[in-house]
Amino acid sequence: MTYQRHRLSNGIRIIHRPTDSLVAHCGLMINAGSRDEHPEEQGLAHFIEHVIFKGTEKRKAHHILSHMENVGGEINAFTSKEETCIYGSFMHPYYQRWFDLVADIVFRSVFPEKELKKEKDIVIDEINSYRDNPSEQIVDDFDEIIFDGHPLGNNILGTPAHLKHFNGNMVRRYIQRNYVTEEIVICSVGRIEFSRLVQMAEKFFGDIPASSRKSAREEISGYRPGQKEITRQNHQAHCMIGNQAYGMSHPRRNVMLLLNNILGGPGMNCRLNMSVREKHGFCYHIESMYQPYSDAGIFGIYFGTDPGYVNKTVKLIHKELSRLRNQKLGSLQLKRAKNQITGQVAIAYESNLNEMLSAGKTMLHLNKIFSLEETGRKIEMITAAELMEAANELLDPAAMSMLAYKPA
């Protein structure tokens, strides 16, 4: 898995892995998300992801939506706390068609007020739909506790009150401030000569003036564990337990990835699933999650259960956390855990789309790409002692926060 790299004179980075597949995947990833919003802009990064598809200097909204679909391709976008990404999948002869469209919508959108008004209503519907799903909403509400008072704690979708005040000038100011060339990566996996890919990038993006971020992101500090209980009209109780964790560049990031996988990863044999669901039958779904950001991270355990089982489930969770803090994994346990996560990563990379997005994000934040082989070597080097040290640092009950949705 060899990637080719190039940097345009304006600072935009390009990474590409050639394949023989008929289908290509290409994305434009920007180091800008909800974290980069000013207080009055909450939800603006995600709103921009919607409205860049609503018209440019030379295209109407329906032309944008049809441009790749007319040749059987797809175009999509997402916004996270730290990234905005526009990406597409298409038959490999249509790379130039994709470059032409994405350069147009990202840098030449006109944001007509009529379309902005319509899209506000759509995003408000998205917010309301999201609020109807407690297992999703609790994850973002938990962020507010872990990153209390920091932009990372804000919901990516924003609030209806903020959305109603958005206008074209606010959109343009956010883009001018954050869509800077030094913080953009074009990532590709597909059947095309790299020299041809670079030529297309030069043609459609080379005239964008060079720019860089003018101010640093707000640092994260002062975490204090919090406990919160909210009454909702649910049948189940929904709970999150967790802590701040390591960021992307932290030397123990891979240790935390492995630790999280052992505790509550996607495998049915993870410790939380085996104990809480398989042995005691307290809940249908329980998982742990680890999300690293550029300079910090969040670790959390989610479960939904009958209200009568909440305290029993929490007790079992802390029992498993105690095991990880106090009992070193044996050599066979450690080997199995490493084999499992290495296999999961390899399966994920079978999707060229997943690989393209993952490589783009890594390049965006760390300015490097880790091959599957290199990732496997890093995981193989992890020791049982390192796992225990990380567990004691991050899984201490005294440092844990908790959020619970209890039925009315």
What DSSP line would sit under 316-364, residue for residue?
HHHHHHHHHHHSPPPHHHHHHHHHHHHHHHHHHTTSHHHHHHHHHHHHH
Any domain includes 126 = yes
pLDDT band at 1 (very low <50, low <70, confident <90, very high): low
Question: Biggest alpha carbon distance in the chain?
Answer: 64
According to DSSP, residue 276 is labeled I
State whether residue 60 is helix, strand or coil: coil
Query: Cα–Cα distance between 81 and 292 in angstroms, integer?
Result: 11
**The pLDDT value given to residue 262:** 98
Check if the beta carbon of residue 288 is closer than 8 Å to that of residue 224: no
Residues 197 and 331 in one domain: no
* Unique residue bearing structure tokens 């919607």: 50
Residues 19 and 153 in one domain: yes
Locate 387 and state its tokens.
């796992």
Of 3-12, 22-31, 85-94, 124-133, the least confident: 124-133
Taking only the tens place, the pLDDT of each residue in 339-391 is 999 999 999 999 999 999 999 999 999 999 988 899 999 999 999 999 999 99
pLDDT band at 117 (very low <50, low <70, confident <90, very high): very high
Any domain includes 210 = no
Locate 213 and state its tokens.
């971020």
Overall domain count for the chain: 2
Any domain includes 102 = yes
Any domain includes 279 = yes
Taking only the tens place, the pLDDT of each residue in 150-182 is 999 999 999 999 999 999 999 999 999 999 999
Which residues have a Cβ under 8 Å from the Cβ of 315 and sit 6 or more positions away? Answer: none
Is the per-residue pLDDT at 68 higher than 70? yes
User: Percent of the chain beyond pLDDT 90?
Assistant: 96
Residues 162 and 231 in one domain: no
Query: Cα–Cα distance between 385 and 330 in angstroms, integer?
Result: 10
* Residue 351 belongs to domain spanning: 227-407
Any domain includes 251 = yes
pLDDT band at 56 (very low <50, low <70, confident <90, very high): very high
What's the mean pLDDT in 6-21?
98
pLDDT band at 190 (very low <50, low <70, confident <90, very high): very high
Taking only the tens place, the pLDDT of each residue in 203-240 is 999 999 999 999 899 999 889 999 999 999 889 999 99
For residues 335 and 234, the model is more confident at 335
Any domain includes 182 = yes
**The pLDDT value given to residue 130:** 87
**The pLDDT value given to residue 380:** 97
pTM, two decimals, is 0.94
Mean pLDDT (the chain, rounded):
96
Of 180, 195, 186, the residue nearest 27 (C-alpha): 186
Locate 327 and state its tokens.
């009992």
Residues 195 and 237 in one domain: no
